[in-house]
């Protein structure tokens, strides 16, 4: 399977000299023709191979020519492996020449432990909503401390507004974002600035509108259902060619777009009971390609299973994925700061939960889950921190709220600082969601631009049903309304204004400390001690790397707390205090004057009693170990 995945190209390949080859899997069709729309609907027949693939080398066809396939003589459909859909999911496909003037020839990627990730949605990150409009902002992101951007799905979806998880043309960067060359320009610019690019891909389902794959071949199985409809066929009859489609998709993004890593969306919705799991083979394909190219590409999975098998090596019967999104720290911090306990938040809310998430990754390692009403998870305590990506906000946790509120709208300024500090001082890879670094207030709502009236109604009703377990009051914004999309665009200019600029500087400070202090940059859970005080809602972390040591003081109370700090050192020198006046919003200046006399001392000593303010965070560098 690996040899086939790495050598057999799907779809069309432009060979130059106005010649193009085609290779399409459609085992049950009687005839398959190419209909070249831009050449007066010229038809060319393809030849069926014993394998069920239809092949042909077509002359007098050039980049920019639009075409359909004609199935069994009368059914016109876009190319299932289309590289560009200039008129959307229902329109013709376009011949693409992937020749591009790359300038990243010396780029060899970054080690995963060097990643500081910035998740963004192309359509709402800039007013233009295109790939190339992102490029002028890369210097600001790099100055912040970002080393990798994570792009939400870009595969062609219906209309022009969508989160991207309704994609149907998996090989076609969305035309409204700038298509093939727009994405290449963005990746090239990132690499020139020493930044990696992660692409979010959705292999658990296809979108419902414009999805014509079933007309060509058995891509689905009726054995299982996903939350979004029919399950992709990973273990039923004909599954080998279905798997090949997805392996080819990853190779396509790596080969033609120089993508560095992939976030696999919701792998817990991929059902596969085979002895050779798709998710394991997928990692093998990427690993083999990495060795061929002598550089490392990464597979990062989103999963709510709390199952370490995803990350464990093949020698331990694992899938050998490089990393996964870890929501546990977000859930712990969110519940501690907001008090929300509905939906999946019912399983969190204690300091001990946060302590376990920081020390062991998964909060649930076989314990009973109130939300799931069953035991959940296994242990990942022995796995290194570099295999987990953590955050205070993501598109999921913000956008799947009924009103799309960011944490900025739910807690005060001090609590915001505490939330991101908790993420930054953990022994994991941090990720930011676009705009959070300057306390963006615009919501991130769920938006669509479907064309099917029945689907539009179904999405509206489905969103309402999703929110029932959270007991949120009111009506959710209409996903189909363009204003819902426009309200979700971030306000980049705010980052240099008032409290937003204060928060931006706070993020920069945390990222600089994380980069430059060995005890914080070391992503090992072994060199970590946690002093947990449940009743006081306090958490004190000690982290070290050889002789370099820091202690982090975190107060999750809404009121002052006095605590005895046992630092195990002769003295601790303050590196950061969230109650220093430079970290106050302008609206808090009166409060600053009142609190100046109570801020933390520049040094602390063993067994010293200190006073922590509401939602206070402080970091001390320990000069010498006792």
Q: Is 625 exposed, middle or buried (0-12, 13-18, 19+ CB in 10 A)?
A: exposed
Q: Is 424 helix (H, G, I), strand (E, B) or coil?
A: helix
CA distance 191 to 104: 6
Say if residues 412 and 615 touch (Cβ distance below 8 Å): yes
406/434 Cα distance (integer angstroms):
11
Half-sphere CA count of 280, side-chain side, radius 13 A: 16
**C-alpha to C-alpha distance for 138 and 118, rounded to whole angstroms:** 11
The two structure tokens encoding residue 162: 């969508």
Token pair recorded at residue 515: 């980069």
Distances (CA, A) of 566 to 42, 450, 532, 555, 557: 80, 59, 12, 16, 20
The torsion region of residue 230 among left (phi > 0), alpha (psi -120 to 50) and beta comes to: beta
Question: 152 is written with which tokens?
Answer: 């939400």
Closest CA to 192 of 119, 107, 259, 316: 107
625, 568 in Cβ contact below 8 A?
Answer: yes
For 470-506, give the secondary structure using H, E and C.
HCCCCCCCCCCCHHHHHCCCCCHHHHHCHHHHHHHHH
Which of 359, 23, 15, 80 shows the shortest CA–CA distance to 214?
80
Q: Distance between CA 589 and CA 307 in Å, rounded?
A: 47
CB 126 within 8 A of CB 492: yes
Instruction: Write out the DSSP string of 585-608.
Output: -GGGHHHHHHHGGGSPPSEE-TTE
Residues designated as active site = 265, 302
Cβ neighbours for 546, distance < 8 A, ≥ 6 positions apart: 518
Rg (CA), the chain: 26
Question: Quick one: tokens of 262?
Answer: 């992939």
Q: Which residue has the tokens 């109130």?
A: 370
| Contact by Cβ (8 Å): 49, 56 | no
Largest Cα–Cα separation, the chain: 85
Helices vs. strands in the chain: H and E counts, helices first: 17, 31
* Token pair 């990973």 in the structure block, residue: 234
């Amino acid at each position: 399977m690996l040899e086939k995945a790495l050598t057999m190209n799907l779809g069309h390949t432009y060979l130059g000299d106005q010649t193009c080859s085609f290779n399409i899997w459609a085992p049950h069709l009687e005839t398959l023709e190419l209909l070249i729309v831009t050449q007066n609907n010229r038809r060319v027949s393809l030849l069926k191979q014993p394998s069920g693939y239809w092949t042909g080398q077509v002359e007098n066809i050039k980049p920019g020519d639009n075409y359909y396939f004609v199935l069994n003589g009368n059914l016109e459909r876009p190319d299932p492996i289309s590289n560009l859909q200039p008129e959307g999911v229902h329109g013709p496909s376009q011949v693409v020449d992937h020749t591009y003037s790359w300038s990243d020839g010396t780029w060899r990627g970054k080690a995963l432990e060097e990643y500081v990730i910035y998740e963004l949605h192309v359509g709402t990150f800039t007013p233009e909503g295109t790939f190339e409009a992102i490029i002028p902002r890369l210097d600001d992101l790099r100055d912040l401390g970002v080393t990798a951007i994570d792009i939400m799905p870009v595969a062609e979806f219906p209309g022009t507004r969508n989160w991207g998880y309704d994609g149907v043309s998996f090989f076609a960067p969305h035309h409204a974002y700038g298509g093939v060359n727009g994405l290449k320009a963005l990746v090239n610019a990132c690499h020139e600035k020493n930044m990696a690019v992660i692409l979010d891909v959705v292999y658990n389902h296809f979108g419902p509108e414009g999805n014509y794959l079933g007309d060509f071949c058995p891509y689905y199985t009726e054995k299982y259902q996903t939350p979004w409809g029919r399950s992709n066929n990973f273990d039923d009859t004909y599954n080998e060619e279905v798997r090949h489609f997805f392996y080819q998709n990853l190779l396509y993004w790596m080969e033609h777009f120089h993508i560095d890593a992939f976030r696999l969306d919701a792998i817990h919705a991929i059902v596969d009971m085979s002895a050779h799991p798709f998710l394991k083979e997928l990692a093998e394909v990427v690993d083999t390609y990495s060795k061929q190219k002598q550089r490392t590409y990464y597979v990062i999975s989103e999963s709510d299973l709390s199952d370490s098998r995803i990350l464990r090596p093949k020698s331990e019967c694992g899938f050998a994925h490089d990393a996964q999104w870890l929501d546990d720290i977000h859930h712990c911090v969110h519940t501690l700061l907001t008090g929300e306990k509905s939906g999946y938040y019912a399983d969190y809310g204690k300091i001990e939960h946060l302590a376990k998430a920081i020390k062991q990754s998964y909060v649930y390692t076989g314990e009973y889950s109130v939300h799931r009403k069953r035991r959940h998870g296994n242990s990942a305590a022995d796995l290194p921190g570099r295999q987990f990506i953590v955050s205070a906000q993501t598109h999921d946790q913000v956008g799947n709220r009924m009103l799309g509120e960011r944490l900025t709208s739910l807690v005060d300024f001090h609590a915001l600082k505490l939330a991101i500090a908790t993420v930054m001082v953990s022994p994991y890879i941090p990720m930011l969601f676009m705009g959070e670094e300057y306390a963006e207030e615009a919501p991130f709502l769920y938006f669509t631009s479907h064309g099917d009236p029945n689907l539009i109604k179904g999405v509206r009703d489905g969103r309402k049903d999703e929110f029932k377990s959270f007991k949120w009051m009111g009506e959710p914004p209409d996903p189909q309304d363009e204003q819902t999309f426009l309200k979700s665009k971030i306000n980049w200019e705010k980052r240099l204004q008032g409290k937003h600029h204060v928060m931006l500087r706070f993020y920069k400070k945390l990222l600089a400390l994380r980069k430059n202090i060995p005890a914080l940059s070391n992503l090992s859970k072994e060199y970590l001690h946690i002093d947990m005080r449940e009743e006081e809602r306090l958490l004190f972390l000690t982290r070290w790397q050889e002789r370099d040591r820091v202690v982090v003081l975190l107060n999750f109370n809404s009121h002052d707390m006095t605590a005895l700090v046992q630092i195990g050192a002769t003295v601790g020198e303050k590196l950061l205090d969230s109650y220093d006046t430079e970290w106050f919003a302008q609206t808090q200046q009166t409060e600053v004057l009142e609190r100046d006399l109570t801020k933390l001392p520049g040094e602390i000593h063993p067994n010293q009693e200190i006073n922590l303010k509401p939602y206070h965070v402080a970091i001390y560098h320990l000069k010498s170990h006792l």
